[in-house]
Amino acid sequence: MIYFLLIDGGFFEGRLRHALAGSWRVRSFSPCRDLCRELLPRVKAFHERYHVGENESLLERAAGNLPFGSDVWYALAGELLLYAAEEVPEFQTCPDTLSLLVAPEQRPLIEQTHRGSRPLTFGAAVYRPEHCGRNDAADVRRLSRFLASLDPTAWTADRLGGDEPQEELAFARDCFAALADTFRRADEAGQVVVHELL
């Protein structure tokens, strides 16, 4: 499952990346403390909405005096990304099928819309290499325009194998519509998109 986390670009670059990079550099959660406190209302709202969180989250603990550990840092980074996201749209994806339907030279762009154009870094720390990537605001704009330039009605099932290529084509068109809409909205809102494979 690939999750798309849409995060305000200014907040991501100006606050989130800076706080996590500083935390990793000094081996302390103190650079994250103010950010964690700022996000506490989002934690509460999330827990109330999804009926989770009987135990205190790492973000809540880092707002206090949580001792630093590299494993804990990675877990806290994951929580901060989730709670900082303005939206985590739920839709199905099929990057392998879409790659078969577009021109060969467009396949890297399809990959970037699902896995990011660059690794997710916080200073010297790389967050979940091979499992997480990001598209900054410029990437989002570029990829949004690329997706808008495609015409899924021109795709044909003869590019697909399998027992039910017409059904697979219809599914791919639905996935593509949701993907293109997500990037269009993220571009309009000035958001970055973090992609996390779980």
State in Å, rounded, how far the first CA of the chain is from the last one: 6
Residue 89 resides in a domain: no
pLDDT digits 0-9 by tens, 163-193: 899 999 999 999 999 999 999 999 999 999 9
Q: Is residue 112 located within the same domain as residue 55?
A: no
Distance CA 141, CA 47 (A): 32
Of 19, 90, 22, 21, the residue nearest 59 (C-alpha) = 19
Q: State the average pLDDT over residues 107-134.
A: 96
Number of domains in the chain: 2
pLDDT digits 0-9 by tens, 14-68: 999 999 999 999 999 999 999 999 999 988 887 777 656 567 789 999 998 899 9
Residue 123 resides in a domain: no
What is the DSSP-derived secondary structure letter of residue 195?
E
- pLDDT value at position 84? 95
Q: Is residue 193 located within the same domain as residue 108?
A: yes
Domain that holds residue 161: 95-118+134-197
Residue 183 resides in a domain: yes
Distance CA 33, CA 64 (A): 7
Q: Is residue 78 located within the same domain as residue 110?
A: no
